[in-house]
Chain A
Amino acid sequence: DAGITQSPRHKVTETGTPVTLRCHQTENHRYMYWYRQDPGHGLRLIHYSYGVKDTDKGEVSDGYSVSRSKTEDFLLTLESATSSQTSVYFCAISTGTGDFLSGANVLTFGAGSRLTVL
């Protein structure tokens, strides 16, 4: 998937435990994203990053934190997992030119990480 690796791909954990999902890219893109996918809600943006140490909140950021200490890695952390955070999590990178007029911004997604919180 275009140089994006998510880990772990599957995880089962218990309520109250911390969880970290990792997204690694090999192509040095500036923008990275974390989405969650739930039936009936589609893809909802959790957090995104526009550079090392530069992050911003998305639509559903409560209960999640992110870090980006290197261009290639974007980490999503659930400090204390809850059952409502059971979901499939997708990392994405923006592989467009960044040119507003060209409309060439393309999100390329990883294969997803399925998280179950019991």
Chain B
Amino acid sequence: QQQVKQSPQSLIVQKGGIPIINCAYENTAFDYFPWYQQFPGKGPALLIAIRPDVSEKKEGRFTISFNKSAKQFSLHIMDSQPGDSATYFCAASGRNNFNKFYFGSGTKLNVKP
């Protein structure tokens, strides 16, 4: 049973569009939610992360929105570019073991020129 559920599985947008990737969790012990970006042939790399004491975090064109009551969080990419084409993973770790991370199933994003 996947601890973090991610959707959609794939996403195609035009350059300049705003792709949105959604994740949901059930374990209320989770309290750290990073997003990872993976380019083909590479390992994932940390993109941005949020803790549930804030509802939004922005770094450049990437924004995480967090809804604690719904146990959902999402990644928005503003003004998307072809270079953003990659696979994105949400993840979660918890207070009881903050070094153990659970990942979503991934979203393959294709930004068309």
Q: Tell me the A residues contacting B by CB distance below 8 Å.
A: 1, 31, 33, 35, 40-45, 48, 50, 58-59, 90, 92, 94, 98, 100, 103, 105-112
Contacts and interface: CB of A to CB of B under 8 A. Distances in A.
Contacts of B105: 40-42
A94 B99 contact: yes
Interface string B25-42: 000000010101000011
Contact of A45 (B32, B46, B100, B106): B100
Interface string B61-103: 0000000000000000000000000000101010100111111
24 contacts: A31-B99, A35-B103, A42-B2, A42-B105, A43-B91, A45-B100, A45-B101, A45-B103, A48-B99, A48-B100, A58-B100, A90-B43, A94-B99, A98-B99, A103-B51, A105-B99, A106-B34, A106-B46, A107-B46, A108-B46, A109-B45, A110-B43, A111-B41, A111-B43
Contacts of B42: 111-112
B103 A42 contact: yes
B6 interface: yes
Nearest to A99: B98
Q: Looking at chain B's contact residues, is the secondary structure mostly helix, strand, loop, or mixed?
A: strand
B43 A42 contact: no
B19 interface: no
A43 B9 contact: no
B89 A105 contact: no
B9 A50 contact: no
Contact of A40 (B9, B45, B89, B102): B9
Given A1-B43, A111-B42, A42 B101 contact: no
B38 to A, nearest CB: 8
B49 interface: yes
Q: Which 10 A-B pairs have the closest CB atoms?
A: A109-B43, A42-B105, A43-B103, A42-B106, A42-B103, A31-B99, A103-B51, A106-B46, A100-B98, A109-B44
B109 to A, nearest CB: 14
A50 to B, nearest CB: 7
A50 B89 contact: no
A103 B32 contact: yes
